[in-house]
Chain A
Amino acid sequence: MNGLEGYIPIVGGAIIDDLRLIADNLKGRIIQHINSTSVGGGVAEILNRMVPLLKELGVDTRWDLIKGGEQFFNVTKKFHNALHGRPQEITSHDFEIFRETSRQNIEEVNIYGDIVFIHDPQPVALIKKKSNNKWLWRCHVDVSEPDSRVWSFLMDFIRQYDAAVFSAPAFSQRLPFRQFLISPSIDPQSDKNKELPREVIDNVLEKYGILKDKPIITQISRFDRLKDPVGVIEAYLQVKKYIDCQLILAGGTASDDPEGLDVLAEVKEKASRDKDIHVLLLPQDDIAVNALQRASTVIMQKSLREGFGLTVAEALWKAKPVVASNVGGIPLQIKHKYSGLLCRSVQGAAFAIKQLLNSPAYAKKLGENGREHIRNNFLITRHLRDYMLLFLSLYHDADVVYL
């Protein structure tokens, strides 16, 4: 994979020059990222690219993981759902499991960063090791309506941080410290987003037994109830009454998501009565995801809640028309009727898909607008810039900082 130079044809050389200018101001500081998984899910995906690029810019960046057993990740999955506002039964024993694993991690994880960058709730308790360094908490989930018990429990840790980072304005709360808005991003050079030769796309379709004889509607997502895969099937079935089409539901499961296989089984059951529904489990096959997106006529992201919804940015980058829920960070990526269509229900999703399938010129225009919107705002080069400015902001209080 190409380094920074590879982004010049995509965003221009001056953007890369700016990144180098900012990075010069971070020389001598160590940035330590900590999260709970190195594979699966958006956080690991971003860090896998972000860390080497920051290093190439000369910013000493490292990445460590906490450890946790099945019980711990079951609890943190419940926390995740509760923060998204889904009712969960969380017992005092669950909180104790979280505390106990956290205690072990506090003992075992070596903290050496000048800036310690904690991602999501799983490692949040490491703040107990705070000394005279700076600590950031990066919230990747939609906490616009969090379960108050879980939020309150986590706030005991979070309030000790120097600053927090959220992905959308609606996620911000009145907090006793600074909070920043930084959207995540996609990497246009990654296997998931780079241009693909026609034969690679065709080979993937052939591998999964998908013919190009009818329009393809696709949702790429982890098998997670919050991504509403069943709602996607229901919307597809409504469209199918009028337009002959096929549906691809494809995704993997993250190692910190124990619910994934249950959801996959439910989806397979729901899909079993229609041969045009393809349910594909694709553990870490980014080329296949890329190919399926590129082969699609319309891409969906019908999430009920969404930390950000990077699959929307991936689809728009490929200039695909997208139908997505008006939740989380999705409206930041899609301006309704301008760079995609937003929906709030199964019926709304079905109507939007029919519009796009019946009006290819309109669908094409939405996709083209979407690609430019992503180029300007949601590529990893913008994300690198925001993170470096964030690090610098920890050492400056003013609204205008002269470097």
Chain B
Amino acid sequence: MLSETSQILSDTVEKIFSDNVTKQCIINSEKGEWPKELWNEIIENGLNLVLVPEALGGVGGSWFDAGILFKAIGKYQAPIPLAENIVAGHLLGLGGIPLPDDSIVTILDGEFSIKDNKLSGISKRTPFGSSATHGVALINDKSSSKVILLSIPKDSISDDKNLALESRSNIDFMDVEILSSSEILFSSDYILKIGALMRSCQIAGGLEFLLDQSVKYANDRIQFGRPIAKFQAIQQELAVLATHVAASGVAADYASSSMDDGCEDLAIASAKSRVDDAVSIGASIAHQVHGAIGFTYEHGLHFATRRLWSWRAEYGSGSYWAKSIGQKAVASGSKNFWPSITTGKI
């Protein structure tokens, strides 16, 4: 059912992650070590270039393709900014700027000012800021809107982390020279929207991991003389988890595919809201089924659940996005409600 490109990307990323994203790799990353070999594999296979136009040496893939990679990041808890680099490639590509060689790019978000081609301002909770060599930002001046690329001075970074101990740095730019810039048109919430798309897909992947682990554990764990999977109480719980995993996968796919169709506002907001609800239910069931062992650092379940708890709040929580579509729906009135669902336009 997948296109050829999608299938190749899916196979490639599964292979790289299953070979390289070991438990030790994640633990080392939590201690602040950069997973060099994993990242090199990604770069060698060009997975960071999926949204870079072919004219700029990229894959020229679709958002649906990118979504496959985003989901894999969540499924394996890959501790690298692949999603952010893919999105950076897209943003720069809009302005005809290629991704710089040998770079680790992050997405900057904050209030910036530009003077004499130099940028100042603070980018807050920048994903993987501590490892990033470059940053991409969208700037709205009075006169123009543009995408810019700059390198990140190491001394401007003050590192912070999310619950999953992924770097979320505050970066204080003071007159940092802009390497490239290009005028493009974008909506004021474009970064927030793409960020929500990327995290929604990652969450869908992470939930898939929770289901996988929980089913395996229930089949292995013996109590009262049989695998706990044989108890109806456990079966019913896992079935509920499965329905939310299925819904999250569809919500994420619909968001990325709607992005390809240029009609993404309802789909992305719905996805982030839907997967946020799924995290509440899914993380709770997965931990319940795992019992005390799943609550230890030694067991790996938390590598996924801590990410899910952070990601659901990043780039707008489920409630933020629910409110945004709720407001639009009530503003356009009940007559237009059903048509907005069938067209995806709100």
Are A and B associated in one complex?
no
Residues of chain A at the chain B interface (Cβ within 8 Å): none
